[in-house]
Amino acid sequence: MKFSYLWLKELTGITESPQKLAEFLTLRAFEVEGVEKIGNDWALDVKILPNRIADASGHRGLANEIGAIRKLKVKSLKFKVDEDKKRKAADLLKIKVENSEDCPRYTARVMDGIKICPSPAWLRERLEACGLQPINNVVDAANYVMLETGQPLHIFDADRIGIKNMQVQRFKSLKTIIVRRAKKGEKIVTLDDKTYEINPEILVIADEKEPIAIAGIKGGKESGVSGTTTAIVLESANFSPIRIRKGSQLLGLKTDASYRFEHGLDPNQTTAAVDRLAQLIREVAGGTILAGVVDAYPQKIKSAAILFRPEYAERLIGAKIPASFYKDAFRRLGWIAKSKGRDFVVTPPTQRRDIQIEEDVIEEIARLFDYTNVEPRMPHIPLSSPERNETIYWEERSRDLLVGAGFTENELYQFTGERELAAFGLDAEGLTELENPTNPETKYLVPRVLIKYLASAAENLRNSDA
- Residues whose CB falls within 8 Å of the CB of residue 152, separated by 6 or more in sequence, listed in order: 146, 216, 256, 257, 260, 261
pLDDT at 47 > cutoff 70: yes
With cut-offs at 50, 70 and 90, classify the pLDDT of residue 291: very high
d(CA 134, CA 91) in angstroms, rounded, equals 33
Q: What is the mean pLDDT of residues 435-444?
A: 89
pLDDT band at 164 (very low <50, low <70, confident <90, very high): very low
Burial class (CB in 10 A: 0-12, 13-18, 19+), 272: middle
Would you state the pLDDT for residue 171?
39
- Listing DSSP states for 50-95 in one string gives GGGHHHHSSHHHHHHHHHHHHT-PPPP------EEEEEEGGGTEEE
DSSP assignment string, 44-59: EEEE--GGGHHHHSSH
Counting residues of the chain whose pLDDT is more than 90, the rounded percentage is 82
Rg of the chain (C-alpha set) = 32
- Least confident interval from 2-6, 250-254, 414-418: 414-418
Q: How confident is the model at residue 466 (pLDDT cuts 50, 70, 90)?
A: low
Starting at the earlier edge strand, list the strands of the sheet with 175-181. 93-97, 175-181, 203-206, 211-214, 218-219
CB atoms within 10 A of CB 459: 10
Mean pLDDT for 206-215 is: 95
pLDDT(172) > 50 = no
**What was the pLDDT predicted at 409?**
81
* Inter-CA distances, 177 with 96, 192, 205, 209, Å: 6, 22, 7, 10
pLDDT tens digit sequence for 81-132: 999 999 999 999 999 999 999 999 999 999 999 999 999 999 999 999 999 9
| pLDDT tier for residue 410 given thresholds of 50, 70 and 90 | confident
**C-alpha–C-alpha distance, residues 309 and 410, integer Å:** 53
pLDDT value at position 169? 38
Q: What is the secondary structure of 3-36 as a DSSP string?
A: EEHHHHHHHH---S-HHHHHHHHHHHS-EEEEEE
State the CB neighbour count (10 A cutoff) for residue 353. Answer: 18
CA 173 to the chain's CA centroid: 38
Q: At what angle do helices 5-12 and 18-28 cross, to 10 degrees?
A: 80
Residue 168 has pLDDT above 50, yes or no: no
Contact, 54 vs 265, CB < 8 A? Answer: yes
Q: What average pLDDT does the chain have?
A: 93
Asked if residue 465 has pLDDT above 90, the reply is no
Contact at 8 Å (CB) between 407 and 376?
A: no
Q: Do 403 and 447 contact (CB within 8 A), yes or no?
A: no
CA distances 366 to 41, 314, 321, 372, 374, Å, are 33, 9, 10, 10, 9
pLDDT at 450 over 60: yes
Is residue 162 over pLDDT 70? no
Rounded to whole angstroms, the Cα distance separating 260 from 53 reads 6
| Strand partners for 211 | 206
Tell me the mean pLDDT in the region 239-255.
97
Question: Phi and psi dihedrals of 316, rounded to 5?
Answer: -75, -40
Pick the more confident residue, 412 or 71. 71
Sign for the CA dihedral angle at 131, 137, 139, 142 comes to positive
- pLDDT (tens digit, 9 = 90+) per residue, 295-304? 999 999 999 9
The pLDDT of 209-228, averaged and rounded, is 96
> How crowded is residue 147: how many other Cβ atoms within 10 Å of its Cβ?
24
Give me the pLDDT at residue 370, please: 94
Whether residue 57 has pLDDT greater than 90:
yes
Half-sphere exposure of 213 (CA within 13 A, CB side): 26
The string of DSSP codes covering 151-175 is ---EEEEGGGGT-----GGG--S-E
Give dist(CA 145, CA 199) in Å, integer.
31
| Residue 114 near residue 281, CB atoms below 8 Å | yes
What value does the mean pLDDT take over residues 440-450? 89
Average pLDDT over residues 239-260: 97
